[in-house]
Chain A
């Protein structure tokens, strides 16, 4: 993690948004530090976009406050928008203008001098891989190209923070991977804080330093993906798979006898031992194997939590 814990860029405290009876965002408190990539994960309709709109001052919170780059976006929306770049989930461009013209319009709205903006537009289009298509009308662009142009559009005003709402929506897996790597590279390069929202847990978790799980307007857990699972399912068992050569029944019994172990079986299909335990005890397994003179060929802890989270909150009834 690049950011330090003492330098919060975005602070939300008790942020609430009601639409009549419906509570879209329910007392959300969250801190995001400088240089961090934070993923706001949640199923559709969890209130992610509403939260983002409130951070930009495009929507007024019913309760609570937001602070973005030291500014209250509800009071001073213009100032916030000078410092924050926002890419909407379904970004629109003027279809009959080309990429450069669209970027130039954004640059002018940010009062960047034309010659400077032109250079910057060229540089950014190069970075997002649109150099070749930059004089084509945006109407001819594919979904992935638009998304990348959107990223360039966000970056042209040199923001301190960029907020991306569902940036991977409608992209194929290859496009998602490219876009996420691009986001990571650009944010590291320009030292920017990134907040991105997504309902695709698997796709974004690898580029995020931290994620927050946001369901029905509430933040259920935050942290890196591993700790997320622990927070959500403290009683969940851990699956450990390992392959041994020269194993003995003695060793197996010892492993079975560990305090944390629930069960241990041999999976003939993959030629692996599969065990379940209450906590991650891979180190104990390795220690025992070495002590008993067996050779440990592979040892991995199965990432149980992520799938569980996905099943319970994203695909299930919560969505």
Chain B
């Protein structure tokens, strides 16, 4: 099959995004919040640096994680707004083309049907990827200029891979939105469904797990029952994509985090003779590898379902 037609569609999709108001609104929100969080991070860093703690390792990474309490950090903003970006770009991918009658026109051309859905995904991902990269570099650049802190190569690697992870995370929500756009004929319904899932995981899921946790709490406190209880709770939390993403980013941006396992055991570092020194980049990546795999798998599952449904749908004009 000729791949050129695929890139023709990708090109058109990217152009569509860049010409749309929606994209500018989303970018506006994210830019503003990032600059806001950068500002608070900078003020927090300078005050802590002034506190004479000269030997703060990986000070630069704090730009992404620290806040002075008024505005959340870059990290928590991306965790919170990333899904919105994915949903915002994907919720009308298929159904709006269908409603406008352009889908049947494209499919009447010599183009394999999967090119359409693949191109939509690739185009949205390319746009988001470029945006994140630009944003990350912008924050790094501003950080260097304002604080004068030197950026080590390892820090750079950690930040870039953090941006890549964010991309995977947003890709998950993007695929979920595309799935809804295949399922629901109305873009508004698809958008609402996407937002509902997002709200569920970012607001209600924690509460539900907490409630369950209260119910499941062991009656007698032994080390074993505590560990058992903790692993159940951890499993439940890890069903949420934002929790997984949180774990991945924590290991990448806090080099001293050396395990994502039991926090009870982790608090007993001295007992296990685990040194409290930062991990190397590769070690950090290894710690979060399972979480990363799970995130990619969730993304692929969403995509596979929408692909399957889309390939089997009958495309009539505007219906």
- Within the assembled complex, what's the spacing in Å between the Cα atoms of A108 and B103? 16
What residue in chain A is nearest B7 (Cβ atoms)? A108
Among candidates A53, A78, A89, residue contacting B112 with C-beta atoms closer than 8 Å: A78
**Do A90 and B317 have beta carbons less than 8 Å apart?**
yes
Question: Which residues of chain A come closer than 8 Å to B318, judged between CB atoms?
Answer: 90, 92
- Within the assembled complex, what's the spacing in Å between the Cα atoms of A318 and B318? 25
- Within the assembled complex, what's the spacing in Å between the Cα atoms of A58 and B113? 10
Known A78-B111, A105-B8: A92·B2 in contact at CB below 8 Å: no
- Within the assembled complex, what's the spacing in Å between the Cα atoms of A85 and B105? 10
> Is A180 interfacial (CB 8 A cutoff)?
no
Among candidates B16, B19, B100, B108, residue contacting A56 with C-beta atoms closer than 8 Å: B108
**Do A89 and B110 have beta carbons less than 8 Å apart?**
no
> Is B55 interfacial (CB 8 A cutoff)?
no
- Within the assembled complex, what's the spacing in Å between the Cα atoms of A153 and B1? 23
- Within the assembled complex, what's the spacing in Å between the Cα atoms of A106 and B5? 10
Question: Which residues of chain A come closer than 8 Å to B109, judged between CB atoms?
Answer: 81, 106, 109-110, 157
> Is A111 interfacial (CB 8 A cutoff)?
yes
- Kindly identify, within residues 86 to 105 of chain B, every residue whose CB is under 8 Å from any CB belonging to chain A: 97, 100-105
Q: How far is the CB of A131 from chain B (nearest CB, A)?
A: 22
> Is A93 interfacial (CB 8 A cutoff)?
yes
- Within the assembled complex, what's the spacing in Å between the Cα atoms of A220 and B190? 43
Question: Which residues of chain B come closer than 8 Å to A86, judged between CB atoms?
Answer: 108
User: How many A-B residue contacts, CB cutoff 8 Å?
Assistant: 75
Question: Which residues of chain A come closer than 8 Å to B315, judged between CB atoms?
Answer: 58
Q: Mark B109-153, 1 if CB is under 8 A from A, else 0.
A: 111100000000000000000000000000000000000000000
- Kindly identify, within residues 270 to 319 of chain B, every residue whose CB is under 8 Å from any CB belonging to chain A: 314-318
- Within the assembled complex, what's the spacing in Å between the Cα atoms of A59 and B103? 14
Most chain A CB inside 10 Å of its own CB: which residue of B8, B109, B314: B109
Question: Which residues of chain B come closer than 8 Å to A165, judged between CB atoms?
Answer: 317
> Is A49 interfacial (CB 8 A cutoff)?
yes
> Is A91 interfacial (CB 8 A cutoff)?
yes
Question: Which residues of chain B come closer than 8 Å to A88, judged between CB atoms?
Answer: 101, 104-105, 108, 316-317
Question: Which residues of chain A come closer than 8 Å to B9, judged between CB atoms?
Answer: 109
Q: How far is the CB of A154 from chain B (nearest CB, A)?
A: 8
Interface band, chain B: 20 to 34
**Do B8 and A91 have beta carbons less than 8 Å apart?**
no
> Is A190 interfacial (CB 8 A cutoff)?
no
Q: Mark A87-105, 1 if CB is under 8 A from B, else 0.
A: 0111111111000000001
**Do A49 and B110 have beta carbons less than 8 Å apart?**
no
> Is A79 interfacial (CB 8 A cutoff)?
yes
Question: Which residues of chain B come closer than 8 Å to A82, judged between CB atoms?
Answer: 110
- Within the assembled complex, what's the spacing in Å between the Cα atoms of A92 and B316? 12
Question: Which residues of chain B come closer than 8 Å to A90, judged between CB atoms?
Answer: 101, 317-318
Question: Which residues of chain A come closer than 8 Å to B2, judged between CB atoms?
Answer: 111
**Do B100 and A109 have beta carbons less than 8 Å apart?**
no
**Do B317 and A89 have beta carbons less than 8 Å apart?**
yes
Question: Which residues of chain A come closer than 8 Å to B100, judged between CB atoms?
Answer: 92-95
Q: Mark B2-36, 1 if CB is under 8 A from A, else 0.
A: 10110011001000100100000000000000000
Known contacts A58-B104, A93-B100; 13 further A-B pairs (Cβ under 8 A):
A53-B314, A84-B108, A85-B108, A92-B105, A93-B105, A94-B100, A95-B100, A105-B8, A105-B12, A106-B105, A109-B111, A110-B109, A111-B4
Chain A residues in the interface with B (C-beta under 8 A): 49, 53, 56, 58-59, 78-79, 81-82, 84-86, 88-96, 105-106, 108-111, 153, 157, 165
Closest A-B pairs by Cβ, 10 of them: A92-B101, A88-B317, A86-B108, A109-B109, A82-B110, A92-B100, A92-B102, A108-B8, A81-B110, A78-B110
What are 23 A-to-B residue pairs whose CB atoms are below 8 Å? A49-B317, A58-B315, A78-B1, A81-B108, A84-B108, A88-B105, A88-B108, A90-B318, A92-B97, A92-B100, A93-B102, A93-B105, A94-B102, A96-B19, A106-B105, A108-B8, A109-B5, A109-B109, A109-B111, A111-B2, A111-B4, A111-B5, A153-B105
